[in-house]
Amino acid sequence: MSPTLEDGQVALLMPPLLHRRRLRRGDVVVFRQLTPPWDWLIKRIAAMPDESVALQNGLLYVDDLLVTPRPIPAGPDGRRCGHWWNGPDEYFVLGDNPSQSADSRAFGPVPGERIAGRVWLRVWPPKAWGRVG
């Protein structure tokens, strides 16, 4: 999630019971990977439940509205186009460093039940202390 979060930094999460109805586009969330090895991932919400998502030549559209002013670089898999539909409790997530990020472009929308929390405060190291989002 560089540059928002760097390796070795520690952040606090807002627990699921407190965040479930408060997630918004742009929030940084932690969730369990959808396939083995079941690692924890940190990504930013790009689209909310019940929204359609289209990636066309690197430009991201949500419900047919352009949401990125410039093209998103292709991810590790080279994908620059695709179409997805978020179900009633699914979120489309992207990494802040999209050329290096395995995100919803590769594995599709993330079910809300997989989201462990919303990252809201970076606490370590002390010089990096501050809000995330």
What is the per-residue pLDDT for 81? 84
The 10 Å Cβ neighbour count of residue 131 is 9
**Residue 62 contacts residue 52 (beta carbons within 8 Å):** yes
State the CATH class of domain 10-131. Answer: mainly beta
Distance CA 59, CA 124 (A): 34
pLDDT in tens, the chain (133 residues): 556 665 666 565 666 665 555 788 999 898 988 888 888 888 999 999 999 999 998 899 999 999 988 888 888 877 778 999 999 999 999 988 888 888 999 899 999 999 988 887 565 556 665 566 6
Q: What residue segments make up the domains of the chain, in order of their start?
A: 10-131
Rounded to two decimals, what is the model's pTM? 0.83
What is the per-residue pLDDT for 8? 66
What is the per-residue pLDDT for 85? 95
